[in-house]
Amino acid sequence: MDQFTLNLIVVGATFALYIGIAIWARAGSTAEFYAAGRGVNPIVNGMATGADWMSAASFISMAGIIAFGGYDTSAYLMGWTGGYVLLAMLLAPYLRKFGKFTVPEFIGDRFYSQTARTVAVICLIVASVTYVIGQMTGVGVAFSRFLEVDNATGLFIGAAIVFMYAVLGGMKGITYTQVAQYVVLIIAYTIPAIFISLQLTGNPLPPLGLFSDATATGKPILETLNGMMADLGFGSYTEQKDTTLNMFLFTVSLMIGTAGLPHVIVRFFTVPTVKDARSSAGWALVFIALLYLTAPAVGAMARMNLINTIYPDGTSAAPLAYEARPDWVKNWEKTGLLKFEDKNGDGLIQYAASKEANEFDVNRDIITLANPEIAQLPGWVIALVAAGGLAAALSTAAGLLMAISSAVSHDLIKSQINPNISEKNELLAARISMAVAIAVATYLGLNPPGFAAQTVALAFGLAASSIFPALMMGIFSKRINNTGAVAGMLAGLGVTIVYIFLHKGWFFVADTASFSDSDPLLLSIKSTSFGAVGALINFVVAFVVSGATKDTPAEIQELVESIRIPKGAGAAVDH
């Protein structure tokens, strides 16, 4: 059986499974559409949260970012996992105890203001749409290679699949679909990693293989990789190249951005009690750790295999002839995500650190997907990785679209535009708003602002600067009033958006070529790291404005107290 047919069978079977689950778990009420009826088992919710959390950025792009960025990109691992711990300990249980459907609903009630709720909706949509662009980018990359279609067609196919199961099933359908997607993606990620670790080190456990000796040299694999990269003029793989300030702010931005992401937070609204919210957070960390402990090994080993492909004898003196390039290079060239330009006309592939000398351009997002082909693994493993990459992208896209849909239908239409809307019409409005969000995300995904992980990092910065501070102050500070909260969110979001646009050169300026993402505007702070600064501005503005305006009403102060102090045996208060 040829590889294309095998890909169709495996990917098609997983898609049929997702749509079948959505039909089985079809939402019949707003409670089921928004929060799965609040009856999800904590272990099941932990697995669904793991799939919701491990997006295209984690599955498809993170290993590629690590492979080409080395030590500096460890911030992705530290920020994303550390942020989840922050979310589990400081936000999720308290928000579940509050007992509402959405993040904007909490902010609107806590800050006793429809304006605050509306601003929260805007912040949520801006962050979520940016995030979902990264997922659609991943969908396009996976489809373009494994179904042998162009990137745009791949995006349209992925959007259609998400539409079918997300719009139909709501949070209930998405929850059980994400459980299936987690199983698919974690198997698809670990099996190739085990094969490759065995090939390169003889150790079947990739996290341990990363610190084992390479079978080809007898030296530690990271030491071997450092030597290979030095020979090509690249910096040391294990050396810090970025500034400590930017790495610190980037890690903080990813951490607090994680804790402020609405599509992850709403997962904790689906369990019966506060105790279950804490438990499901613990289970989610276990499920997430399986991939995140493996990713560094996948990145390092992929970089080794890539270099060995171009320099089969292990030295830069004997590069591979372009005509002798392996099939995996030919396959990925068709997608436009891998390119060769014979700059010196010698017919050999020159892979080097210098832009002037380098002739081999590899998109970071293809590394995980191409890994099984580079390592010459069986066809069924390649097909499985395709299904896993799509599962990761589609699961998170569905969660994000659910958050956007809930914000529009529940927090805008139901809360402010038409409070008397029937449950049936509210459900219809939620489904229509999700369909519109899918269309917008697909359109924007055709021209993303960076690799999947970079685009997602921007979304984390936006959530960090706007939503996270409002949630933290809403739970842990009685003195922040409605005026302060609104001013803080607008200030944090506004300054972060402006910095990102300036840094990326997206404003209409005379010479956009003078802007570079690698040239920070302020000290050494890049656009992906500025969310931490935006969050600090949010906190400061909120406290200053609250101090200069009316005190928080007594009943709101009592509400804050009731959220923080547990009452009863872990029961959540639905009101």
> SS in 3 state form for 157-202?
HHHHHHHHHHHHHHHHHHHHHHHHHHHHHHHHHHHHHHHHHHHHHC
Q: What is the pLDDT of residue 438?
A: 81
Q: Do the domain assignments include residue 106?
A: yes
The continuous run of DSSP H or E covering 362 comes out as: strand 360-362
Amino acid letter for position 193: A
H or E segment and range at residue 360 = strand 360-362
Does 479 reside within a domain? no
Rounded CA separation 225/439 (Å): 43
424 class by beta-carbon count within 10 Å (0-12 exposed, 13-18 middle, 19+ buried): exposed
pLDDT in tens, 127-170: 888 887 777 777 777 777 777 777 778 788 878 877 776 666 56
Distance of CA 469 to the CA centre of its chain: 20
CA distance linking residue 502 with residue 205, whole number of Å? 44
For residue 209, the model assigns a pLDDT of: 94
For residue 226, how many C-alpha atoms fall within 13 Å in the half-sphere facing its CB? 12
Six-digit token pair at 50? Answer: 């793991």
Residue 132, domain extent = 3-302+377-453
In this structure, is residue 116 part of a structural domain? yes
User: How many beta carbons lie within 10 A of that of residue 107, not counting itself?
Assistant: 29
Secondary structure (3-state) at 131:
helix
219-226: long-range pairs with CB below 8 Å, 24+: 221/300, 221/301, 221/304, 222/300, 224/304, 225/300, 225/303, 225/304
Instruction: Give the CATH number, domain containing residue 269.
Output: 1.10.4160
On the 0-12 / 13-18 / 19+ scale of CB atoms within 10 A, 500 is buried
Give 525's strand partners: 522
Which residues, listed in sequence order, are joined to residue 360 by a DSSP beta bridge? 340
Q: What angle do CA 521, 453, 283 make, to 5 degrees?
A: 125
pLDDT digits (tens, 9 = 90+) for 461-470: 899 999 999 9
- Helix (H) / strand (E) containing 530: none
Q: What is the pLDDT of residue 575?
A: 44
Q: How many Å is the Cα radius of gyration of the chain?
A: 24
* Residues pairing with 571 in the sheet: 273
Domain for residue 346, yes or no? no
Distance of CA 236 to the CA centre of its chain: 27
> What DSSP character marks residue 220?
B
User: Is residue 561 in a domain?
Assistant: no
Does residue 554 form part of some domain?
no
| Per-residue pLDDT at 221 | 93
* Residue 549 falls inside a structural domain: no
**Distance (Å, whole) CA 535 – CA 249:** 11
pLDDT score for 274 = 79
484 near 546, Cβ under 8 Å?
yes
Q: How many domains does the chain have?
A: 1
Angle, CA 291 vertex, CA 285 and CA 297 arms, to 5°:
135
Residue 339, beta-bridge partner list: 361
What separation, in Å, do the N-terminal and C-terminal C-alpha atoms of the chain show?
57
Residues (pLDDT < 70) of the chain are: 25-39, 101, 165-173, 314-315, 448-454, 503-521, 566-575
Nearest to 443 by CA among 152, 84, 63, 145: 152
Question: Kindly report the CA angle at 61 between 57 and 62, in degrees rounded to 5?
Answer: 80
pLDDT computed for residue 572 by the predictor: 46
Compute the C-alpha angle 372/400/562, nearest 5°: 125
Q: At what angle do helices 531-548 and 452-476 cross, to 10 degrees?
A: 20
